[in-house]
Chains A and B, each alone.
Chain A
Amino acid sequence: MHTGAGVEARLPIRSDMDLVWVRQHVRQAAAGLGFGLVDQTKLVTAASELARNTLVHGGGGLMEASHVTTGGTDGLRLTFSDTGPGIPDLDRALSDGYTSGGGLGMGLGGARRLVHDFAVESAPGSGTTVRVTSWVSRPPRPREDA
């Protein structure tokens, strides 16, 4: 069984340089928890997208990483929070190709497909919090849309 040592962290997201830290931390934490190479890469990519959203759209914020377990399965939970303008239309933001920042518009929707559990809370004016979780093996509960 893998220990969760070195997983817990609160990393600020204020500049491009901080994105590098976020990616490196997620990669190390995922490797430490026993994620395979493909799952590590997926999770790091999702973290990169979400951290960039926090920076570009939320005006900077915070990523919290934590080690979660359920039914003997290890997982890594990442929470990205900002106090920016929030997302006025969540459904549209999650759809592919929609962008408000000049990007490809694949970030939020793409990140959702790269992780097992995905939750986003946002209201205009009160910031955005995105919480994603991936499990070392299969997700412990069958997903509704699987």
Chain B
Amino acid sequence: MPEHDTGGTLGTPEQEVAGFLRRRSEQIAQRWADEPLFRTVFTVSRDEAVEAGKVVADALAQVAGTQRVEDPDAAGFTGVREQLARMGAARSRAGLSATQVSSELAALLPPVENLLVADLEGVEPERLRECSTALSVLMGTLRLVAMQTALSEVQALTDRQRLQLLEVATPVIKLWDGIVAVPLIGTLDSARSQVVMETLLEAVVDQHARFAILDITGVPTVDSLVAQHLMKTVAAARLMGAECVVSGIRPAIAQTIVHLGLDLGTVKTRASLADALGYCLHELGANIVNAAPDGAGRR
């Protein structure tokens, strides 16, 4: 490797840093491979860690070369985003908090800074200080990119789970010819109740249902908004020719509804799903009798 031929002739401090990062990427990667962040993520071999370090150093050099050391959206970071996310995720899985991961990323700066000082030996102190500042800013931006990537992954996961919850929580069950039931579970916020209404109305059409049972056994709190959603669903089903029965009203919920002053008088209610099914069957003219010779059946 040739002795440094820098002399501080290369344009701005950022460009000088870019040149330094390109020249010394091998050495930087070697030093980084000993830092906890790389050492613990790339456990198979040291070469692997060095290789990964070189990729990061090259990306940093590219960003510095385009004079955008403060910009986390700089094009140079695109290539390393995924790798940074993987490293961050690996450290999180190992039980580190976001702060600890962040300080491990910060620990990547000192070795590079030492190399920079050695590399620019003989350069004016003022110039060296400027280059050093540019490098610090660049490493700070790298940290930001890593944390941003990790956060957006968590956000994406949360969004996916919320969508899953919307789907999972609203199955429509056919109980009998012309009778469908929706067991409602959890919080009925506006988004969920909209999904419930849609799936129920679709089922009413598909199954030619005359009765729809909304079972609220799994709904922990019935306040005025939940009641309003229920009444709207019932009214919409009625417009389509289906009668709704709300079942699964527990004693505590019943007392609360009364104290709250809600009038559910327009809604047919039953204490349990079994009662509601019995009512619907009766209305359909299908009676269940005990000890029928060939089992209970439909007439």
Q: Enumerate chain A interface residues (CB-CB to B < 8 A).
A: 16, 19-20, 23, 27, 37-38, 40-42, 44-45, 48-49, 52, 96, 103-104, 106-107, 109-111, 113-114
In the assembled complex, the Cα of A110 lies from the Cα of B223 at a distance in Å of 9
Q: Given contacts A16-B189, A16-B190, A104-B227, is CB(A45)–CB(B222) below 8 Å?
A: yes
Q: Which residues of chain B are within 8 angstroms of A107 by Cβ–Cβ distance?
A: 223-224
Of A40, A41, A49, chain B has the most CB atoms within 10 Å of the CB of A41
Q: List 9 A-B contacts (CB under 8 A).
A: A19-B187, A45-B222, A45-B260, A48-B223, A49-B260, A106-B224, A106-B260, A110-B224, A113-B261
B255 touches A42 (CB 8 A): yes
Interface of chain A, helix or strand or loop or mixed? helix
Q: Does B6 reach chain A (CB closer than 8 Å)? A: no
Q: Which residues of chain A are within 8 angstroms of B260 by Cβ–Cβ distance?
A: 45, 49, 106, 110-111, 113-114
In the assembled complex, the Cα of A52 lies from the Cα of B252 at a distance in Å of 21
**Residues B196-251 near A (CB distance < 8 A):** 220-225, 227-228, 251
A113 touches B259 (CB 8 A): yes
Q: Does B256 reach chain A (CB closer than 8 Å)? A: yes
Q: Does B262 reach chain A (CB closer than 8 Å)? A: yes
Closest CB of chain A to B98's CB: distance in Å?
Answer: 20
Q: Does B253 reach chain A (CB closer than 8 Å)? A: yes
Q: Mark B247-291, 1 if CB is under 8 A from A, else 0.
A: 000011101100111100000000000000000000000000000
Q: Which residues of chain A are within 8 angstroms of B253 by Cβ–Cβ distance?
A: 41
**Residues B150-193 near A (CB distance < 8 A):** 187, 189-190
Q: Which residues of chain A are within 8 angstroms of B256 by Cβ–Cβ distance?
A: 38, 41-42, 45, 114
Which 9 A-B pairs rank lowest in CB-CB distance, beginning with the nearest?
A: A110-B260, A41-B252, A48-B223, A106-B224, A38-B252, A104-B224, A113-B259, A45-B256, A45-B223
